[in-house]
Structure formats: structure tokens, C-alpha cells
A and B are shown apart, each in its own frame.
Chain A
Amino acid sequence: MSIEFDAAIRLGGFTYDARFEARNEIVVLFGHSGAGKSVTLQAIAGLVRPERGRITVDGRPMFDSAAGIHVAPQARNVGYVVQELALFPHMTVAENVAFGIPKAIDRSSRTAELLDLLRIGDLANRKPSTLSGGQRQRVALARALARDANVLLLDEPFSALDDALRVTLRRELLRLRAELGLTIVFVTHDLREAHLLADRLAVFDDGRILQFAAREEVFRRPVSRRVAELTGTSNIFAATVIENRDGTAVLDVAGARFAASAPIAAMPGSGIDVAIRGERVNLRRPGEVANAFRAMLTEEFAFGSSHTLHFKPVDTGPEVEVEIASRPYEVLGVAAGQEWLIELPASDLHVMRRE
């Protein structure tokens, strides 16, 4: 159950060049609309023919520009759920699902099996127009699985649903993946959805993959300012390297000194960018704390489960956004107008090459 993907595509003025792989996992393609996520799925499904590259599914080449291979979409056996689903409006739920089942298989029993798998057996004779958003979603998934595909391509499948339903269906998807051992490529522009579902994450921007790595790696160790921005890192600072050895750097950030983890070789004196996610910042009471600076709380926003706090340095150091869960917020007694020590843990303060 694997996909190896490497393709270059030109569509009008849009150039696309991307490479990633998926093995018995959920790979989330994340990025803004128009970044090239959907076209990736179309290339895997065989609906778009790249200019150059090689795409294999379970080791079988589906596309290989060097060998002149381009397998038709009919012969690729990948399940594909398109944006807004495109259920067949003139067919019942059962007919929609049965459409893709190969002739050699007993269609009615296989259909019943799939409807049961998605828990929509009672909808078999309904037309898509009479279904709710969540029900349609399940029909689309059942239909995509009709050919016993091991690989499932999902293009923003939950974007039209409300939050509660999304939660249910994401859980459903994780169940399906576990039960059927699927390899899933999932397209989304929703950061929380990406975080919840991804084993590995490919961050798309303007037809390129900026970073492809395990989820936590992408979120905590973005390779560039752009990736950090796209993945919702609120604190990105310009900094100067003072010292750099053994993967730990000492930096000057807005006049204050901080130790940071530096996976790149940055020369002392050079300018780099440094990032830390809002939820990785620690609030400390005044005292002796390493890698910390004094700051005043200037603004705060309550989001129910968490608070977002803005701090301005008292003398040196950067302006920082801190995310803190409601409970510690109350326990610590955080309130506006107070001075705190802002600790940027060296292991979470992440050095990036400046572009």
C-alpha cells in the first residue's frame, strides 16, 4: 500500500513540481487553494498527465515519462473523492456505490457490504438530493471504496460540513483506515484538520512542496519562514547568530540573548529567522530563568478552551504571542497589566535559514 510521487506539470501560467510518498499512512497535502494540492490527486488518479516524472502505486508504475507509461484512470484502481463529492444525482445511493464494482463480483452483496461499512444501509434506495451533508459524504466514501482500492484520494472532503460532523467523519476515516489498511492522501486547507489526520504532512505553496515530513516535524521544525507562517506559527523573528555549535545556537533577538536549536549550519554574524509556536512559550513568575525575558501583557483574547496573550518586552526581547489553555490561565492568575517572565525553551525555539 504505497504511493511514490514525483511529477512536474505545466498548466497555463502555473508550474508545478512536487515529490512525496505515502506508505500505509495518511499523508495530508496542506496549503492555500491554487497551491497545487488538487492537481496532485488528479495526477495520481490519471486525470491529469504530467510533463515529467514518475508515479507508482504499490510499486506499479502508473506514470513514467521516461518509459512513456501513462495508465488510464480506469486501470489505476485508486479511490477518489472529489471536492463537493459529485455523487451521481440520477442514481440511488446503492446504484452510486454499485457503479464501480467490477462485473466479476456479486454486485448486490458487495454493495450491501460497503453500505454497512459506512453505516448507511438504510439509505440504499434514497437519491443523493434527499441526503444530509454527512450522509452524502459517507456515500462518496463507499463509492470510492467500491473497487477495493488500497489507495484513497480525498479532496477537501469535509469542507462543506459543520464542525460537529467533521469531527465524526474524521474519526470515521481513521476507523476505515485502520480496518482496511488504506493509504490515504488527504487534501485540506484546514490547519486543525491537517494536524488531526496527518501522519506525514506536505506543505504546498505555489506549485511546490516546501516541506514534507512527519506532522510534528513540520509543525515544530518548519524549514522556512513561509512554512512557519502557513502552519500557523505566530512567533517568527529575525535574529543574528552569535555562536553556533553542535546543533545549538546563541542568538540575538531584538537585543536579548537566547539559546535555540539550530539544525542548519549558520555562521556567527549571519542573519537567520527563528520561530516558536505560541503554545510552546512558557509563562514564568519573576525569578532566575534561563532563555527568558521580562514582558508586559498588553492584550488577550479568550477562545473558550484557550487564551491568546500578547506581550511587549519591558526592555529587550521580541514581542511575543502566547497560547495558553484555560486551566493554567486561571491557575497562574494571568491578567492584563502584569509583568511576566517569557521563557522561550531552547528546544522549541527553532532556527530557519533565511530565504
Chain B
Amino acid sequence: MRTDRTALVTLLVLSAAFAAFFVLPFAGLAKRAIEDGKTWELARSGTAQAALWLSVWTSTVTLGPDDRFGTPVAYLLSRARFPGKAIVDAAIDLPIVLPPTVAGVALLTAFGRRGLVGEPIEAWTGQTFAFTTMAVIMAQVLVAAPFYVRAARSGFDSVDRRAEAVAYTLGASKTRTFFRIVLPQVRPAIMAGTVLCWARAMGELGATLIFAGNLEGTTQTMPLAIISAFEGSSLGLAGAIALSVMLLGVALGVLVVFRLVSNQETWQA
């Protein structure tokens, strides 16, 4: 019994310490935000509003390609067997492991004005990517995609293959089986992946900074605005705090809404 109690106390102490480490930074942020007195005013400034709007809409647009292209990829990775699958699997996770700055440099070498495909595309169409809002989205798509693909893939993995086989014997085509049997069961995983993907896009900094730059109103997303404020732009440290609180609020809001929605969606298999 004695060892049981010791174990319990140890468990609680360690958990409390860890929890404190998580909570304290946010407490510090909240305290400064309240004491500054300028937070509300700074949050409503043009720079902050432009950054917030840019972050929200580009992150949302990012979901389009990531869902549209990520879902088939996830399905293939879950179902298909082909040589080199392990390599493809690892390659998709690469952006998770790689520092985003590397992704930024890589994007620049591919889609920059001197880039592998950037140069011919500009020669034919006059279209450039680097340092545009398009570049912001491209950076986010690349960096956030693995989060979506991984979540969706584990969703596909968890669907009973025999249910698909049964659907075929019941006369359902592969397409009908996918949309009526597979996809509905994967929906919770896809939702989770979408939220993760969106959150990752909202927080994207390194790749955007290198590939899209830090142009207010065009490529300056929230994380970039925070960096600029911190480095002494017109917003200052108080501005960095205000922007951080705004991001924190948006993130919390999304998580809460997601929980509410997904609790309604889930069923017991």
C-alpha cells in the first residue's frame, strides 16, 4: 500500500509540474496583455487586422488542395501495395520533420523566379509566385499537408476492409462503396486532419518568411507580424503580445468548436 501511495504522489507531482510549465507562459501572456492597457487598441490596428485576415483566409484556402489531393493520397497509402511505398510514406512525412525554413528554400528553388519550374512558367505566362500571397498559400499547403494525410490515412486504415468486400458482393461499384461505406466512416478522422492542417497553416512561419517574404498586407501573416513587432516595427512588444493573444483566442475557439462538432459526429463502431 505504501508504495502505491508513493507512486500516486510522484505521479501527481510530475503531472502538476508539467501542467504548470504549460500554463505559466499563457498566464504571463495574459498578465502582460491586461497590464499593457493597449492590447485592444493594438489588436484593432490596421497591421494586426490585415495580418489576422490574411492568416485566416490563406489557412482556409490551404484546406482546399490539402483535402482534395490529400484524401486520394491517404486512400492509396492505406490500400495500395506498390514497390517503394515505404519511401513515399516517409517522403510525405518529411515536411513534419524538416525545419520549415528548409521547405521555404526548397520552394524558392522550385518556384522562385530562377527556380526549376518558376523560370519557365514566368517565361510562358509572366506569372511569378515568390513573394506573393500565392506563395503564402503554397508554403502552407506544403507544410500542413502531411498532418492531413496522416490523419486521413489512419482513418482509412481503421475501416474494415471486409465491409468493402461485402459492399461489392451487394452490387455496389467501387465508387459507390467509397462514398457510401468508406468515406462516412472516415469522416471523424478527416475532420481531425482538417483541423490539424488548418492549425499548422495558421502557425506557419519559416517557409513563408523565405518563400513569400514579410510584406504587410500581402504576405505578412500573424506569425510574421509577431516577429516584425518583436523586432521593432510600429507595433512594438505590446503589439507582439496583442497579436499573440489574438492567435491564442482563434486557436482555442477552433479547438472548442471542433470538439463540439466531433462529439456529435462520432458513433461507436
Contacts and interface: CB of A to CB of B under 8 A. Distances in A.
Nearest to A140: B166
A342 interface: no
Nearest to A79: B169
Contact of B166 (A76, A80, A89, A102): A80
A129 B267 contact: yes
A74 B164 CA distance: 11
Contact of B170 (A87, A99, A127): A99
Nearest to B161: A86
Given A90-B185, A90-B267, A146 B169 contact: no
Contacts of A295: none
Interface residues on A, range: 20 to 34
B167 interface: yes
A74 B181 contact: no
Contact of A129 (B162, B171, B181, B268): B268
B184 A74 contact: no
A160 to B, nearest CB: 14
B185 A100 contact: no
A143 B181 CA distance: 14
Contacts of A146: 170
A147 interface: yes
Contacts of A79: 169
B16 interface: no
Interface string A78-99: 1110111011111000000001
Interface residues of B, number: 19
Contacts of A61: none
Interface of A is mostly: loop
Contacts of A75: 171
Interface in B160-203: 160, 162-163, 165-173, 180-181, 184-185
A83 B267 contact: no
Contact of A89 (B167, B171, B269): B269
B163 A88 contact: yes
Interface string A59-81: 00000000000001111111110
Contact of B168 (A47, A87, A89, A129): A47
A184 interface: no
A260 interface: no
A45 interface: yes
Nearest to B166: A86
Interface in B55-96: none
A73 B168 contact: yes
Contact of A99 (B160, B167, B185, B269): B167
Contact of B181 (A77, A78, A88, A102): A88
Contacts of B165: 42, 45, 47, 73, 80, 82, 86
19 contacts: A72-B168, A73-B168, A74-B168, A74-B169, A78-B169, A79-B169, A83-B162, A84-B162, A86-B160, A88-B163, A88-B181, A89-B185, A89-B269, A99-B180, A100-B170, A100-B171, A100-B172, A127-B268, A143-B166
Interface of B: 160, 162-163, 165-173, 180-181, 184-185, 267-269
Interface of A: 42, 45-47, 72-80, 82-84, 86-90, 99-100, 102, 127, 129, 143, 146-147
The 9 closest A-B pairs by CB, nearest first: A100-B170, A86-B162, A129-B268, A73-B168, A86-B163, A89-B269, A80-B169, A82-B162, A90-B184
